[in-house]
Amino acid sequence: MLLKDLDIQHNPVMVPEILKYLEVTSGGRYIDCTLGEAGHTKSILDASTPGGEVLGIDADHEAIEVSHSRLIDYQERFVSVNDNFRNLKKIAMRKDFIPSHGILMDLGVSSLQLNLETRGFSFMRKSPLDMRFSFNQKLTADQVVNSFQENELADILYNFGEERRARKIAKIIVQNRPIKYSSELAEIIKKNIKVTNFKINPATKTFQALRIYINEELSALSDALEQSLDILGIGGKLAVISYHSLEDRIVKNFFRKESKYCICLPNVSKCECNHEPKLKIITKKPISPSSNEIASNRRSRSAKLRVIERIL
């Protein structure tokens, strides 16, 4: 079966909010840094007609293939690039999308990745332990799970998954090697870790940590945020949807730093940095999905939307 023929249920998160805060208008030029199955991109293209354009970026070549199939009626206004959004500025320069009216970053794993049985992102499927966004990457979840030292595994689970039981889970993993499938890893954790919240699988944070570590997601996010300042036009908006505290903290701290007049260290009595704010924070607190959206799309429950406007 071809990817374009897959019947994957995809519900983009907070579409009305994204269109509102990005102020999508006719003829606008927008960048979707995490194209996925193109749900947000399609909504932006519809709202920006006539003449609106979207540059879609995704490290996953399968997402590019699916998005092209779904956006076949928008080909004149849509361009895609198979690359990591940590290269955002180079991509935007190459595709002549500077300045842009708005940039969207919807972080995390997509429905496509969770539903394909060859990627290992979901603990509900018997998939090989891979978890790479791009097959050009060398490191896989299999290598981390089956060859890393116990203390290295524990550090990854704690630092990238905020897993309180990181040392215990790392020990369990090492004791049960080799582990071949994602469902096998999840079952091992489930059998050995006491459940305190029956709504959340005890393997959730382990899978999150492995995925983030393998794909270098946090450093890629930091790189893309910094580069966005050189891409947005004055008055342009940047909207970021995060799904866990590690991502949200990076976004919040970046927004705060670039919206201040001074970023000197606290012990400096007189400002020496001469920093001028480049951003205005639009959402003083993160926006969450409505209760109706959460009821219809459970994956949206942890989403947080933050938005800024470039002012300098």
Q: What is the DSSP string of 210-252?
A: HHHHHHTHHHHHHHHHHHHTTTEEEEEEEEEEE-SHHHHHHHH
pLDDT of 256 > 50? The answer is yes
Q: Which residue has the tokens 């260290």?
A: 265
Is there a single domain that holds both residue 173 and residue 295?
A: no
Cα dist from 185 to 49, 121, 168, 202, whole Å: 47, 11, 14, 11
Q: Assign residue 17 the CATH number of its domain.
A: 3.40.50.150
Q: Do 36 and 58 touch, CB atoms closer than 8 A?
A: yes
| pLDDT, tens only, 79-136 | 999 999 999 999 999 999 999 999 999 997 877 777 766 788 888 888 999 999 998 9
Report pTM: 0.93
Domain annotation covers residue 133? yes
The total number of structural domains that make up the chain: 2
Q: Using 50, 70 and 90 to split pLDDT, how confident is the model at 2?
A: very low
Is there a single domain that holds both residue 108 and residue 8?
A: yes
| pLDDT, tens only, 43-91 | 999 999 999 999 999 999 999 999 999 999 999 999 999 999 999 999 9
Question: Which residues fall within 8 angstroms of residue 16, CB to CB, at 6 or more apart?
Answer: none
Is there a single domain that holds both residue 7 and residue 100?
A: yes
- Quote the pLDDT of residue 9: 57
- Domain limits at 260? 3-112+217-310
Q: Do 242 and 304 touch, CB atoms closer than 8 A?
A: yes
Last residue of a domain, one of 215, 248, 269: 215
- Quote the pLDDT of residue 60: 94
Domain annotation covers residue 117? no
Neighbours of 270 (CB within 10 A): 6
Q: Do 190 and 201 touch, CB atoms closer than 8 A?
A: yes
Question: Which residues fall within 8 angstroms of residue 112, CB to CB, at 6 or more apart?
Answer: 6, 8, 10, 36, 37, 60, 62, 63, 66
Q: Do 217 and 211 touch, CB atoms closer than 8 A?
A: yes
| pLDDT, tens only, 183-234 | 999 999 999 998 877 678 899 999 999 999 999 999 999 999 999 999 999 9
Give me 173's structure tokens.
């993993």
Neighbours of 106 (CB within 10 A): 23
Domain annotation covers residue 118? no
Which is more confidently placed, 4 or 57? 57
Last residue of a domain, one of 162, 185, 215: 215
Is there a single domain that holds both residue 292 and residue 195?
A: no
Percent of the chain surpassing pLDDT 90: 82
Q: Assign residue 204 the CATH number of its domain.
A: 1.10.150.170
Give me 165's structure tokens.
């039981």
Is there a single domain that holds both residue 208 and residue 226?
A: no
